[in-house]
Amino acid sequence: MAKCTSCGNESGEVIKFNCPRCNKKLMQRCDKCRSLSIEYKCPCGFEGP
Ligand SMILES: [Zn+2]
Ligand SMILES: [Zn+2]
């Protein structure tokens, strides 16, 4: 099951995309974090949204 990078939520729809900066790390975000624009953090130092 996909797990949201921001909140750790494993339920609901989670979209996956590569980090815009390093393009290596797969980021996963749930609907909730996406609609609330909750920030996420990549190990490379990138912080979204
Ligand atoms: Zn989330
Ligand atoms: Zn990155």
pLDDT tens profile 1-49 = 789 999 999 988 999 999 999 999 999 999 999 999 999 999 999 998 8
> Ligand 1 centre and the CA of 24: distance in Å?
20
How many whole angstroms from 47 Cα to the centroid of ligand 1?
A: 15
The pLDDT value recorded for residue 43 is 94
Query: Residue 48 has what pLDDT?
Result: 84
Q: Where are the beta strands (DSSP E) in the chain?
A: 14-18, 26-30
43 CA distance to ligand 1 middle (Å): 17
What integer pLDDT is reported at residue 7 of this predicted model? 94
- Per domain, the residue ranges of the chain are 1-44
Q: Where are the alpha helices (DSSP H) in 1-49?
A: 31-36
Which ligand is the nearest neighbour of the Cα of 5?
A: 1
pLDDT of amino acid 15: 93
Ligand nearest to the CA of 22: 2
